[in-house]
Structures are given as structure tokens and as C-alpha cells.
Amino acid sequence: MPIKSICCLGAGYVGGPTMAMIASKCPDIQVTVADMNEQRIAAWNSDTLPVYEPGLDAVVASALGRNLHFTTDIRNAIAGADLIFVSVGTPTKSFGIGAGRAADLRYIESAARLIAEVSEGHKIIVEKSTIPVKTATAIKSILAANSPHGATFQVLSNPEFLAEGTAVEDLESPDRILIGGETTREGNAAVEALASVYARWIPRERILTTNLWSSELSKLVANAFLAQRISSINSISALCEATGADVDEVARAIGMDSRIGPKFLKASVGFGGSCFQKDLLNLVYLCESFNLPHVSEYWRQVVHLNDWQKSRFVEKIVRSLYNTVSNKRIAILGFAFKKDTNDTRESPAILVCRDLLLEHAHLAIYDPKVSEETIRQDLLSAGVSPDLIASNVEICSDPYSAVTHAHALATLTEWAEFRTLDLSRIYDLMLKPAFVFDGRAVLSLDALKAHGFEVFVIGKGL
Ligand SMILES: NC(=O)c1ccc[n+]([C@@H]2O[C@H](COP(=O)([O-])OP(=O)(O)OC[C@H]3O[C@@H](n4cnc5c(N)ncnc54)[C@H](O)[C@@H]3O)[C@@H](O)[C@H]2O)c1
């Protein structure tokens, strides 16, 4: 049976853009994205989308009101759908068994319970959220035990591999689509129904089908491998600083080996985002649960290295500024966890700013897309006191006001606009000696030195 109506629970960074792409590519399928967050739904229905992604406005505009709908009426959305994506958050559990490592599956469970309660007939349920292996078993048993109208279900795993900042490109032309299902006749039919939705714009050879557990696990493993590459090159960045080697030259030399490849070898202040750390910790916990301590310890190191990279960046700033940043103004350029997104979840900027504030620095923060409210809230959630935030944090509307009378400047996001900053003007505005700590290697080292700055670039030394 071809799919005529799709619903997605969760209108976040994944649910919104993914469904907008499906709706724009499949005008004959009605796509409804449902979320209880009224503010988010109102924003999706307005001219200011809640998620910033290059090209997303046009994709949403092409289908909104035609076959793309955003609603808070979750029950009706479920009732009317043949296929339901579950794209709710799966944050790291902060309490109880597995706290700090395991995935918190409460949103998945309550979504499954609601689907069971409301559904009639046959529905395909698709895990879009990133979840631990075997979650499909839990979803199936909740659905089977709580369905008053005798509905039947097939559960599929279809993890999302989009990267924030390039979500539209990634959805339009993904490296692969992964669909896992039960290896039964009904399971195969459900896999084919979903595959044929994607096949409207994605070549069949890029649509991979596997069993449920391989699909669930592959998402965690993909993120673990990506994060591992960043921690690997970051570990080498410290050795480069100690020895006089240049991390970019090393990355280039090893990346030309076709077995290694050039991508994800950029040293930086560390990885962030809502996924890498969470999914690594999730993998660590899974390995612990299956009594594989050597495997879990191996992956835990990737997270440790990332934490160390952030703290040694702060230490470098403090030591360079004569061992005290108390009452010194430090300009922070970039707060998002990467360029081209307004997402700050797990952004290295949060911990760097927190630790500088705990040293009583005054921070002048500029980010082109992150709101003042988000920055203040993130610092509060990271444990900085409201008083310290009120007295020592200034949010600036442009980079030049941030650097005015600053002792130092630190880049924490690789926004393209930082590459074209007027370095002479910045040098004139800053106190001397003017220090630059380029945590994202966005500025030209040679140009900075030529202008007279004292420069620290990760993997290159001061
Ligand atoms: N952000 C990414 O780049 C990315 C990439 C790939 C996979 N993922 C995974 O996708 C999932 C979603 O991530 P996100 O970044 O979109 O999260 P998000 O926090 O931006 O969005 C989740 C949304 O789900 C809503 N929600 C919770 N319970 C619900 C329910 N029962 N019914 C309807 N809506 C409900 C919340 O209100 C929230 O708006 C996570 O598992 C994440 O790991 C994220």
C-alpha cells in the first residue's frame, strides 16, 4: 500500500527539516509535523523558522499549507497517518541508573503510548530519533500492550544522518538512507513502503536496508567514528604545539592517504552539538550493559579527550594573559557549536565561557545567529551564577564592539564572516598586547602576526 499520509512526532532540528524535504519532494503525500511545544509550532508556521539552516526557508515555503502542516494537535495527526516518524529528543539521562551515559527514553516511551492509544487499523512506526540498540523491542511491546482499538504495527528504524548547518543539502542528496526492519513478509513490506517514499528523489542504490538492530546500531557507530576522528586530530594538536609541528600540515599529509581520507581532520577547541557526546555516551553505556568494559573504555576516551581539549584552551588563555583574566575583557566570537546553525547544544563555547567567567573574566560575546536569551540561558544551565552572568557578560551585536578595549579575542565558531574581519581595525580597538586565541583556525595566522597580534592557534602554538 503506497503511503498517502505521514505524521512526525517532534518538530525539532530533525523532524522539521526532514519532513519539509519529504513534503517538498512528494506533493501527493500529506505530511503533518506535530509537537506539544506551541511556540515551536507557531514559529514553523511563521516567517521566522525556529531552526536556522541555509536553504530551509525555501523548502518549507514550497510545501507549507499545501501538503506540509505543523500542528500541536498530536492525536489527530497520529490518527490520520499511515506512517508515523518518531523524532523526539533522546538526551543523556541525568538521574538514576545509567545517569550521565544512558539515553533518556521517556519521550520515546510516551510517544509510543500515545500512538498505541490513538491508532486504529495498520500503521508503520519509524524510529527517526537516535536510540540504543533494541529500542524497537520496547516500542513494539508498548504498542502491543496498549492498543484499545486493536491496531497493528510494524516498527522500522530509519536513523537520520543529516549534519546541522548542511541539513538541506544532506536531505536533498544524502550519502545513504538506512532502513532497518523485521525480516518477515510484513517487515519487508513496511521497509519497501518507506523506501519508496525516499526513492522519489534518492537513487535506489543509496537506500540501504538491514535488520532492525544493525540500523539502530549503525547510527551510534557513525557518530562515534566521526567524533573519534576529531578527538584523534585534537590529541595530535597538543603534540604539535609541544614539538613545533603544524597540525594542518600533519592532517594534510595523513589525509592524502586514501585509506585515511581528508575529512574530519580539522583540529579545534573540540566538538559540540546535541549528538556526538550523547551518542558516544550511549554507546559506552550499551557496551557496559553488554559486559564489554574494554570496548566501553575505548570509546569513553573520545569524550575525555574532547573535554580536555576545551579545558586546555581555557588554561592557555589564562596562562598567556599573565595568569589572570580577572576583570579583563575577552571578546568571544561565535557561540553556536558550528557555523551555519543557531544550535548551541553542547557547544564548546559554553564550557570555555563558563570557565573564563569562573576566573572572573568579563566576556563580550558576539554570534551572528544565536540569541542573547539562549547565550544567557546556556551559561546559567552550565552552572554560572545569575549575578556573575549579569555583571560579567555583555552580548554584542557586532564583532567590533566586542573587541573594543578587549585584552584578548577568542574564536569559538568557524563562521565565514570571521574570515573577512578587518584585522587592522580590530588591532586598533584592542588593548595591547592584543591576544588572539583562534579555537577554530578561522583567522589567517600570517595576517594576524603581520598586524602585531600575539596569536595562539590550536595545533600551532603561540
Ligand atoms: N540535531 C541533529 O543534528 C540530529 C541529527 C541526527 C539525529 N538526531 C536525533 O534526532 C532526535 C531528535 O533530535 P532534535 O535535534 O530534532 O531534537 P529537538 O529537541 O530539537 O526536538 C525534539 C522535539 O520533540 C518534541 N516532543 C517530545 N515528545 C513529543 C511527543 N510525544 N510528541 C510530539 N513531540 C514531542 C519536543 O517538544 C521537541 O520539540 C534525537 O534522537 C537526536 O539524537 C539529531
Q: Report whether residue 72 contacts ligand 1, using a CB cutoff of 6 Å.
A: no
Determine the distance from the C-alpha atom of residue 191 to the mean position of all C-alpha atoms in its chain, rounded to a whole number.
27
Q: Report whether residue 162 contacts ligand 1, using a CB cutoff of 6 Å.
A: yes
What is the residue-averaged pLDDT of the chain?
96
- CA neighbours closer than 13 Å in the CB half-sphere of residue 350: 25
Q: How far is the CA of 109 from the centre of ligand 1 (A)?
A: 13
Say what the pLDDT of residue 25 is.
Answer: 98
Summarize the confidence of residues 350-355 as an average pLDDT: 98
**CB under 8 A, 24+ apart: contacts of 57-65:** 59/17, 59/20, 59/21, 59/24, 59/168, 60/16, 60/20, 62/24, 63/20, 63/23, 63/24, 63/27, 63/31
Summarize the confidence of residues 255-263 as an average pLDDT: 98
Closest CA to 254 of 238, 242, 266, 270: 266
Q: How far is the CA of 86 from the centre of ligand 1 (A)?
A: 8
Say what the pLDDT of residue 10 is.
Answer: 98
Q: Report whether residue 132 contacts ligand 1, using a CB cutoff of 6 Å.
A: no
**Which atom of ligand 1 sits closest to the CA of residue 164?**
3
Residue 462 has pLDDT above 60, yes or no: no
pLDDT per position as a tens digit, 360-398: 999 999 999 999 999 999 999 999 999 999 999 999 999
pLDDT per position as a tens digit, 281-333: 999 999 999 999 999 999 999 999 999 999 999 999 999 999 999 999 999 99
Say what the pLDDT of residue 461 is.
Answer: 67
Residue 1 has pLDDT above 80, yes or no: no
pTM of the model: 0.94
Please give the share of the chain, as a percent, with pLDDT higher than 90: 98
pLDDT per position as a tens digit, 176-226: 999 999 999 999 999 999 999 999 999 999 999 999 999 999 999 999 999
- Examine the residue annotation and report whether 26 is marked as an active-site residue of this protein: no
Summarize the confidence of residues 55-69 as an average pLDDT: 97
Q: Which of 44-48, 96-100, 112-116, 119-123 has the lowest mean pLDDT?
A: 96-100
pLDDT per position as a tens digit, 70-117: 999 999 999 999 999 999 999 999 999 999 999 999 999 999 999 999
Q: Report whether residue 336 contacts ligand 1, using a CB cutoff of 6 Å.
A: no
- Among residues 7, 8, 26, 275, which one is catalytic? 275
Helix (H) or strand (E) holding 26: none
- CA-CA-CA-CA torsion sign (71, 72, 78, 80): negative
Say what the pLDDT of residue 29 is.
Answer: 98
